Amino acid sequence: MEAIIKSVRIAGMQAAVPPHRHSYVETPEFFTQEEADKVYASTGIHSRRILPTHLCASDMCLAAAESLLENLGWEASSVDVLIYVSQDADYALPATACLMQHRLGLPRTAACLDVSLGCSGFIYGTWIASQLLNSSSGKRALVLCGDTSSRHLLPEDRGTKPLFGDAGVATALEFDPDWPDSYAVFGTDGTGGQHIAVPAGGRRHPTMPEKESWDEPTHDRLYKDSRLQLNGAEVFSFTLKVVPKLVKETLALANITADDLDMCVMHQANAFILEHLRKKAKIDKEKYLIDMADFGNTSSASVPLAICHKLTDFFDGEPKKVLLGGFGVGWSWGAIVADIGKMPAGIVEIADDFPPLQLAQ
For residue 108, tell me if it sits in a domain.
yes
Q: Concatenated DSSP letters for 44-88?
A: ----EE---TTS-HHHHHHHHHHHHHHHHT--GGG--EEEEE-S-
Residue 277's pLDDT is what?
A: 94
30 in Cβ contact with 156 (< 8 Å)? yes
| Mean pLDDT confidence for 311-330 | 96
Residue 36: partners with Cβ closer than 8 Å, 6 or more residues away: 24, 25, 28, 162
Q: Is the pLDDT of residue 244 over 90?
A: yes
| Mean pLDDT confidence for 63-90 | 98
Q: How many domains does the structure of the chain reveal? A: 1
Higher pLDDT, 336 or 222: 336
Mean pLDDT of the chain: 95
Residue-wise pLDDT for 351-361, tens only, equals: 999 999 999 76
Q: Is the pLDDT of residue 52 over 90?
A: yes
Give the confidence band of 208 by pLDDT, cuts at 50, 70, 90: confident
Q: Is the pLDDT of residue 49 over 70?
A: yes
What is the C-alpha separation between 181 and 178, in angstroms, rounded? Answer: 9
Give the confidence band of 73 by pLDDT, cuts at 50, 70, 90: very high
Give the confidence band of 48 by pLDDT, cuts at 50, 70, 90: very high
Q: Is the pLDDT of residue 31 over 90?
A: no
172 in Cβ contact with 11 (< 8 Å)? yes
Higher pLDDT, 32 or 197: 197
For residue 281, tell me if it sits in a domain.
yes
For residue 198, tell me if it sits in a domain.
no
Q: Is the pLDDT of residue 159 over 90?
A: no
Q: What is the percent of the chain with per-residue pLDDT over 70, rounded to a whole number? A: 99
CATH of the domain at 276: 3.40.47.10
| Mean pLDDT confidence for 191-197 | 97
Q: What is the percent of the chain with per-residue pLDDT over 90, rounded to a whole number? A: 86
For residue 200, tell me if it sits in a domain.
no
Residue-wise pLDDT for 124-140, tens only, equals: 999 999 999 999 999 99
For residue 195, tell me if it sits in a domain.
no
What is the C-alpha separation between 212 and 210, in angstroms, rounded? Answer: 5
Residue 166's pLDDT is what?
A: 98
For residue 221, tell me if it sits in a domain.
no
Total-model pTM: 0.96
Give the confidence band of 12 by pLDDT, cuts at 50, 70, 90: very high
For residue 217, tell me if it sits in a domain.
no
Q: Is the pLDDT of residue 25 over 70?
A: yes
193 in Cβ contact with 87 (< 8 Å)? no
Residue 211's pLDDT is what?
A: 85
Residue 86's pLDDT is what?
A: 98
Residue 210's pLDDT is what?
A: 83
What is the C-alpha separation between 356 and 62, in angstroms, rounded? Answer: 9
Domain with 181, as residue range(s), is 2-190+229-349
| Mean pLDDT confidence for 97-102 | 98
Region of poorest pLDDT, from 32-36, 44-48, 285-289: 32-36
For residue 210, tell me if it sits in a domain.
no
Q: Concatenated DSSP letters for 307-330?
A: HHHH-TTTTSSS-EEEEEEEEETT
Region of poorest pLDDT, from 7-16, 93-102, 223-232: 223-232
Q: Is the pLDDT of residue 142 over 80?
A: yes
